[in-house]
Amino acid sequence: MRRFTYLVCILGVLFFITSCSSMDTSRVKKVDKAAVAIVGVEKHINYTDDFEIPQLVQRLAQSDKFDLQPIAENLHENTFGVYTEVMPFTLIPEEEVIETERYKNFELYNEGYEEATDGNSNFITVKNYKKYNPSGMLQGRRAKLFEAMPDEAEAMLMVGLSYKLFQENSMIPGVNKGKIEADLDIRLVKPNGERILTINKKAESDNSMKVVLDAAILDPDKIQPLVQDATDKAMAKAEEFIQDNLSD
């Protein structure tokens, strides 16, 4: 019994550690120049097993009325105007990264690769940033992406935002109440693809929406305010973490 209790405690600690932001402080502070490689928002909303809505979610992602471009622009502004202003390194000017022939002509995936499997077809960016979703990108892919960075870059910054619809308990049969969780992920990566800084902040929307037979997911007017609310909270959490842990 003691062994079982001990094992449960160890697993709990490991889960807590792996779920939090992480940072190799000494290595982050040694970085002099970094380049922003990716800034974007995933339009395809994930969902918990409480909902059986794969086709509805895909239709929402393809809807012009579900507009996440303003959120992508806000994320871009925060990346250059809030997050990196207090980080202990200098950003290489944006045009010296994404406007170069090296970056423009770079292809992370081989010809014929189904980009949709990585969510890239629904990844919303600004300017000329590549539509590569950093979520779930393995170290080998990150190392390959670093090849598109300027020679003076010592590290590469990837910023991505994604969402999940989850169920809030409802007493009415056939009616689910759904909330949105925003997941903001900021990663600082070395040329070998190793992450030396991971900031992962999640936040839930205050309000919820009724999902009758799961059809409300098709209504951008109902889900967009929840997305915005959760986004604002996640961004605020990231800013607080950066101010507390990375400012000089």
Name the pairing type of β-strands 33-42 and 123-125.
antiparallel
Name the pairing type of β-strands 46-47 and 155-168.
parallel
- pLDDT on residue 165: 86
Q: How confident is the model over 118-138, as pLDDT tens digits?
A: 456 789 999 999 999 998 899
Token pair, residue 87, equals 């980080």
Burial grade of 174 (CB within 10 A; 0-12, 13-18, 19 or more): exposed
Q: What is the DSSP letter of 182?
A: E
Which residue range(s) make up the domain with 52? 22-245
Yes or no: say if 201 and 161 are a contact pair by the CB < 8 Å rule: no
Yes or no: say if 189 and 154 are a contact pair by the CB < 8 Å rule: no
14 in a structural domain: no
Alpha-carbon separation of residue 234 from 46, 83, 110, 156, 182 (angstroms): 17, 13, 34, 22, 6
* Closest to 125 (Cα-Cα) out of 73, 57, 56: 73
DSSP string, 128-180: T------TT--HHHHHHHGGGS-TT-SEEEEEEEEEEEEEE--SSTTEEEEEE
Residue 58 DSSP SS3: helix
53 in a structural domain: yes
3 in a structural domain: no
Low-confidence ranges of the chain (pLDDT < 70): 1-20, 48-55, 111-120, 169-175, 212-218, 248
Q: How confident is the model over 74-101, as pLDDT tens digits?
A: 999 999 999 988 899 999 999 999 999 9
- pLDDT on residue 221: 87
Count of domains observed in the chain: 1
164 in a structural domain: yes
- pLDDT on residue 25: 83
> What gap in Å lies between CA 152 and CA 92, rounded to an integer?
8
Token pair, residue 151, equals 């020679």
9 in a structural domain: no
1 in a structural domain: no
182 in a structural domain: yes
> What gap in Å lies between CA 132 and CA 150, rounded to an integer?
18
Strand partners of residue 155:
34
> What gap in Å lies between CA 79 and CA 3, rounded to an integer?
46
